[in-house]
Chain A
Amino acid sequence: MSALSELGKLRGRGKEETPDNVAGYLFLLPWLIGLVVITIGPMLASLYLSFTDYSLLAPPEWIGAKNYERMLNDPRLLNSLRVTFTYVFVSTPLQLALALGIAVLLNQGMRGLPFYRSVFYLPSLMGSSVAIAILWRQIFGTSGLVNQVLMAVGFRDLPGWISDPNTALGTIILLHIWTFGSPMIIFLAGLRQIPTMYYEAAAVDGASKWTQFWKITMPLLSPIIFFNLVLQIIGAFQSFTQAFIVSGGTGGPSDSTMFYTLYLYQKGFAQFDMGYASAMAWLLLIIIGVFTALNFFVSKYWVFYDD
């Protein structure tokens, strides 16, 4: 089903018949070149650069772990971590809960399922575009759509949601939740795999709908919830476009939407502080790696595998 479960299955696979090494490597050649030139090479290079001072103009100068020390004492970086963590750990659970809730409702023999599925899915396709970020800027602006509606029902002295440091991040979180359609589709596919007879048997035994959800749906769907959780967290850590457009590239107001990737972009590609940006990139990789590993570790306690 997923890339994650594939990784687990690999261990058990043994040797079979005669190998076709030449053909295998010929077919794999473009991918292998890509792996070396586009992925592993640059990864090693960025690891090296993260220990240097490099601004593109002069050759890289080895400075040891200074970039990493600098990061610990960089208040803007620490703030960008706080903003990113808030974004990831508020928006991901809310988005997945909404996706699951709607999927469960739609799966209960709802007529017009394809229609609802399409309408809920459309924002996922457009959510990462600049056009939608522009729309968001208007909607949550001082005289934007949201405030127009709120004024019409009697509210006064409303803030500009994207120009107030207390609410700006919230609008971007909302944008992320708005794109719950793609996890919803994964949940719908998973729900269809659960045999209806489980529910029928539970109903005959007098189990309430609530009990059925927690005792049948949740355990059987938990591998898929886990899969969604891992991928959505990895993805959310790398969000960039919406914060960039909504804040006009500044991460403002007062750094309240300064996502980690946005700060990395500013350091690397606006100030050309490439050594520091490389160190930041490695910290991001470590953070994502730690949270993914943690996710796998915790999954032992709540993810239920049927086979």
Chain B
Amino acid sequence: MTDPRTDSTDVVLDNDVAIDHGGAGDLHAVKRTGQLGSNVRSVIKHILMIAAALLMIYPLLWMLVSSFRPTEEIFRDSGLVLTSLHLENYTEGWTALQYPFSRYLINSMILVLGCILGNVISCSLAAYAFARLRFKFKNIFFAIMLLTIMLPMHVIIVPQYILFSQFGWVNTFIPLVLPKLLATDAFFVFLMVQFIRGLPKELDEAARIDGCGHWKIFSRVIMPLMTPAIATTVIFTFIWTWNDFFSSLIYLTSPEMFTVPLALKSFLDSTGGSNWGAMFAMSIVSLIPVFLVFLFGQKFLIRGIATTGIK
């Protein structure tokens, strides 16, 4: 997606250049000196941008490189050049806790899959109702749904905890997955409502004439067309659940149930923050899935953010 303006051969139309040279002046002069000035400016701009990008990404690159260094070296070397590959951090970190790190990865993965399934099913059902059906109090419910997007979870966490602990669900994944099955991530309902509204209504009507009820219209017509919105939901649910710390901290108490963020936290607690090599190694392991999702799902991430303002 390069901006069409950069490819413009007519320099006068390039607002960058026209602005630099006072605009209203002699257009021919702008054309001649503008070309040179814009090149210099563009080079400076790129150098500054690359510097900024490097500064932004440096901590991540440095953590990656440092995860292959012995801990003493991490405190000495602020550069990115590796002299040797110290893989012990990874083997040591993997087995440093009560269970091998794979256990926590699997726990996180189960949780993520449960939340994805919950969000996709429950949010798309609610979104279809809001976008296509007419029923009493719809507008009031829709307004409430939008308001819950802004509701801080801390207001409900205490009674929710009491409720779930009375059911004996503390230290299970139920308190973390059940809310997703009940469409409490209203952001995704909103995202899908917006998407369904963009689909032509004639499709529904054609299906209705063919004798389809609402369920068939939803499952055979709308759902297949909604894949981009579902992909965005899947990707954001993945990243939010994978990174989530607060709910797991409250609900998951014994090590065999720990998710990756809790494992990292207990690693930090148990070493008192001294074994940086192994800690960085496991931090990198924990970021790999996020990075992969970023790499392959970027299109959906960016579209999702741009259209709904999700984080």
Query: For B149, what are the chain A residues with a Cβ–Cβ distance below 8 Å?
Result: 3
Query: For B57, what are the chain A residues with a Cβ–Cβ distance below 8 Å?
Result: 119, 122-123
A231 CB–B CB distance under 8 Å: yes
Contact across chains for B60 and A205 when beta carbons are under 8 A apart? no
Contact across chains for B182 and A148 when beta carbons are under 8 A apart? no
Tell whether A208 pairs with B190 under 8 Å between CB atoms, given A38-B179, A42-B156: no
A212 CB–B CB distance under 8 Å: yes
Q: Which of A30, A196, A261 has the most CB of B within 10 A?
A: A30
A114 to B53, CA, bound (A): 12
Query: For A288, what are the chain B residues with a Cβ–Cβ distance below 8 Å?
Result: 150, 152
Which among A72-80, A127-135, A297-305 touches the partner chain?
Answer: A127-135
How far in angstroms is the closest Cβ of chain B from A166? 21
A288 to B153, CA, bound (A): 12
A156 CB–B CB distance under 8 Å: no
B35 CB–A CB distance under 8 Å: no
List CB contacts (< 8 Å) of A17-42 with chain B: 17-21, 23-25, 27-35, 37-39, 41-42
For B, the interface residue count at a CB cutoff of 8 angstroms equals 116
Query: For B22, what are the chain A residues with a Cβ–Cβ distance below 8 Å?
Result: 206
A120 CB–B CB distance under 8 Å: yes
Query: For A261, what are the chain B residues with a Cβ–Cβ distance below 8 Å?
Result: 154, 246
Query: For B169, what are the chain A residues with a Cβ–Cβ distance below 8 Å?
Result: none
Secondary structure class of chain A's binding surface, majority of residues? helix
Tell whether A281 pairs with B158 under 8 Å between CB atoms, given A113-B3, A129-B261, A203-B19: yes
Contact across chains for A240 and B246 when beta carbons are under 8 A apart? yes
Cβ contact of A238, chosen from B75, B154, B213, B294, cutoff 8 A? B154
Tell whether A185 pairs with B302 under 8 Å between CB atoms, given A227-B309, A288-B152: yes
Q: How many A-B residue pairs have CB under 8 A?
A: 329
Residue of B nearest to A235 (CB): B311
Contact across chains for A238 and B189 when beta carbons are under 8 A apart? no
B163 CB–A CB distance under 8 Å: yes
Contact across chains for B152 and A135 when beta carbons are under 8 A apart? no
B109 CB–A CB distance under 8 Å: no
List CB contacts (< 8 Å) of B113-143 with chain A: 121-123, 125-126, 128-130, 133-136, 138-139, 141-143
A196 to B10, CA, bound (A): 15
A269 CB–B CB distance under 8 Å: yes
How far in angstroms is the closest Cβ of chain A from B154? 5
B26 CB–A CB distance under 8 Å: no
A58 CB–B CB distance under 8 Å: no
Residue of A nearest to B245 (CB): A241
Contact across chains for B264 and A131 when beta carbons are under 8 A apart? yes
A3 to B148, CA, bound (A): 11
Query: For B153, what are the chain A residues with a Cβ–Cβ distance below 8 Å?
Result: 238
Cβ contact of A149, chosen from B78, B268, B273, B294, cutoff 8 A? B78
A257 CB–B CB distance under 8 Å: no
Secondary structure class of chain B's binding surface, majority of residues? helix
Contact across chains for A27 and B129 when beta carbons are under 8 A apart? yes
Tell whether A109 pairs with B155 under 8 Å between CB atoms, given A122-B60, A235-B311: no
Which among A6-14, A62-70, A86-94 touches the partner chain?
Answer: A6-14
For A, the interface residue count at a CB cutoff of 8 angstroms equals 118
A178 CB–B CB distance under 8 Å: yes
How far in angstroms is the closest Cβ of chain B from A135? 5
How far in angstroms is the closest Cβ of chain A from B266? 10
Contact across chains for A143 and B183 when beta carbons are under 8 A apart? no
A20-B135, A149-B78, A268-B158 are known; give 19 further A-B pairs, CB within 8 A: A16-B134, A20-B133, A24-B135, A24-B136, A30-B182, A34-B179, A41-B163, A113-B1, A126-B243, A128-B243, A130-B286, A134-B283, A186-B305, A189-B305, A189-B306, A234-B152, A237-B152, A285-B151, A292-B150
Q: Which 8 A-B pairs have the closest CB atoms?
A: A34-B182, A24-B135, A189-B306, A45-B159, A131-B283, A27-B129, A42-B156, A31-B126
Residues of A within 8 A of B (CB): 1-3, 6-7, 10, 13, 16-21, 23-25, 27-35, 37-39, 41-43, 45-46, 49, 56, 102, 105-114, 116-126, 128-132, 134-135, 137-139, 143-145, 148-149, 152, 178, 182, 185-186, 188-189, 196, 199-200, 202-209, 212, 227-228, 231, 234-235, 237-238, 240-241, 244-245, 248, 261, 264-265, 268-269, 274, 277-278, 280-282, 284-285, 288, 292
